[in-house]
Amino acid sequence: MEEYLDPVSKGSHVSRLGPLDKVHAFWFSGMSCDGCTVTVTGATTPSIEDLLTGSHPGLPQIVLHHPVVNLESGPNFLRAHERALRGELNAPYVIILEGSITDETAAMETGGYWAGNGDEPWGADGEERAVTADEWIARLAPGAAASIAIGTCATWGGIPSADGNPTGAMSMMDFLGQDYRSAFGLPVVNVPGCAPIGDNFNETVAAILYFLQGFGPLPEFDEIGRPAWLFGETVHRHCVRGAYYEEGSYAQEFGDPECLVEIGCWGPVVNCNITSRGAINHVGGCMNAGGACIGCTMPGFPDKFTPFYKVPPGSAVSTAASRILGSLIRPMRLYTNEHLNREVRWDLHHDVPSGWARGKQEPGRLKEAGHRIYDKLRRSNDTGKADVAPWGKRHEWTYERDPARERTLPGGTDRNTAERGAE
Ligand code: SF4
Ligand code: SF4
């Protein structure tokens, strides 16, 4: 594929900067659904096209070796892999794993394999045999500039490692062990999610490449190898439904607009940025699209989150507290919201001189008195406005103007009477 992209790459308006012209990326599939591949092809910051053509300023061109998107197949596809093993690439390489590593010794007992990634000649007679994902990872990881696990299966084991699975599925970092460091000194980099946000992955790759290129610092990773700037917050903190939680309003079924915690959302205790970043190109994402968080980015997924779509037991205390507080807060906010949805002029004149909003007049003296007290409190520390008219309005014409004059058309006709006559 490198040759196919070369004309585009060399025609790029971006001049190469830094010591690296190219970096090879070898992509392997363990126990995977290929969802990680799909999500990366949809990423936009940077896009896969920009990375493959080297048109992202400052980054080397990525030469991707991917079993799904590459044009080569069979021995031609594996040629670069073999050159990497022999140290003949003349460029650094990174390895990327989607899907979990499996216990291939268990599969061999039956004469099969779990996750094959191409065939190679083997043994004295040159007979072909499948080379499994774990074997490629074991071969290439020591020489890789970086080893990156994409998706929850590769980062923590994910669904293939759930209770009852027969494959012995595990994460890339567990497979490579405690002492593993890449050729550039990095432990495995983990970008979880099922499927992950494609932009999280491409952005992490770009950050690592900036580091390798000498243009940026080593990206910050948290204690389990996630990009710290992407996974430092919980879903809940940026959720579009967060205010419903705070006001104690909870959805009873999917499709309701309120907070989804009582129908199974784990967002308050899950590290994921989909609520702020969206699924693709800042669009979509679980709560934005009506789905509850089932913790798919987390090392404990799926077993610590099942059964799905049941209320998490730990939420009982906070939802009960929010319900009590919300029952007080909601009416007060509604009261203030109604007031703020009226123009100051309408309050001063006790009249709404417009076609819309005729029902928006001050609803009763008691409520008005409450608003006046609130207004005084609001401006009590505002020395610039402390002695002005009610509602903070300084312009005298607004306060003193006769509402009847506003309704009078040239010639003396009453606007309201004329409008009603026209109807
Ligand atoms: S839907 Fe989930 S993440 Fe959003 S506010 Fe409710 S509990 Fe929090
Ligand atoms: S919000 Fe929850 S279920 Fe959705 S992507 Fe993030 S961790 Fe996964």
pLDDT tens series, the chain, 423 aa: 666 666 656 555 555 667 888 999 999 999 999 999 999 999 999 999 999 998 888 899 999 999 988 888 888 899 999 999 999 998 999 999 999 999 999 998 888 999 999 888 877 788 888 999 999 999 999 999 999 999 999 999 999 999 999 999 999 999 999 999 999 999 999 999 999 999 999 999 999 999 988 888 999 999 999 999 999 999 999 999 999 999 999 999 999 999 999 999 999 999 999 999 999 988 999 999 999 999 999 999 999 999 999 999 989 999 999 999 999 999 999 999 988 998 888 888 888 888 888 777 777 889 889 988 888 888 777 666 555 555 555 444 444 556 666 666 666 676 666 655 554
Residue 62 confidence (pLDDT): 94
Which residues, 6+ apart, have CB-to-CB distance to 101 below 8 Å? 30, 133, 134, 137, 154, 169, 170, 171, 172, 174, 175
Residue 419 confidence (pLDDT): 54
- For the Cβ of 270 lying below 6 angstroms from any atom of ligand 2, the answer is yes
User: For the chain, how far is it from start to end, CA to CA, in angstroms?
Assistant: 72
Residue 212 confidence (pLDDT): 87
Say how many Å lie between the CA of residue 293 and the centre of ligand 2. 5
Location of structure tokens 């509850």: 292
Return the ligand number nearest the Cα of 236. 1
CB atoms inside a 10 Å sphere around CB 162: 13
- For the Cβ of 219 lying below 6 angstroms from any atom of ligand 1, the answer is no
Return the ligand number nearest the Cα of 243. 1
Return the ligand number nearest the Cα of 268. 1
- For the Cβ of 251 lying below 6 angstroms from any atom of ligand 1, the answer is no
Protein residue with its CA nearest to atom 2 in ligand 2: 293
- For the Cβ of 259 lying below 6 angstroms from any atom of ligand 1, the answer is yes
Residue 184 is classified by DSSP as T
Residue 248 confidence (pLDDT): 96
- For the Cβ of 144 lying below 6 angstroms from any atom of ligand 2, the answer is no
- For the Cβ of 236 lying below 6 angstroms from any atom of ligand 1, the answer is yes
Residue 372 confidence (pLDDT): 86
How far is the C-alpha of 344 from the C-alpha of 395, rounded, in Å?
11
How far is the C-alpha of 97 from the C-alpha of 99, rounded, in Å?
6
How far is the C-alpha of 207 from the C-alpha of 209, rounded, in Å?
5
Residue 100 confidence (pLDDT): 97
DSSP H or E segment with residue 96 = strand 93-98
Atom of ligand 2 nearest to the CA of 286: 4
How far is the C-alpha of 223 from the C-alpha of 97, rounded, in Å?
20
Residue 124 confidence (pLDDT): 78
- For the Cβ of 274 lying below 6 angstroms from any atom of ligand 2, the answer is yes
Residue 241 confidence (pLDDT): 97
Say how many Å lie between the CA of residue 274 and the centre of ligand 2. 7
Bridge partners (DSSP) of residue 280 are 283
Helices 133-140 and 74-85 meet at what angle, rounded to 10? 30
Protein residue with its CA nearest to atom 5 in ligand 1: 242
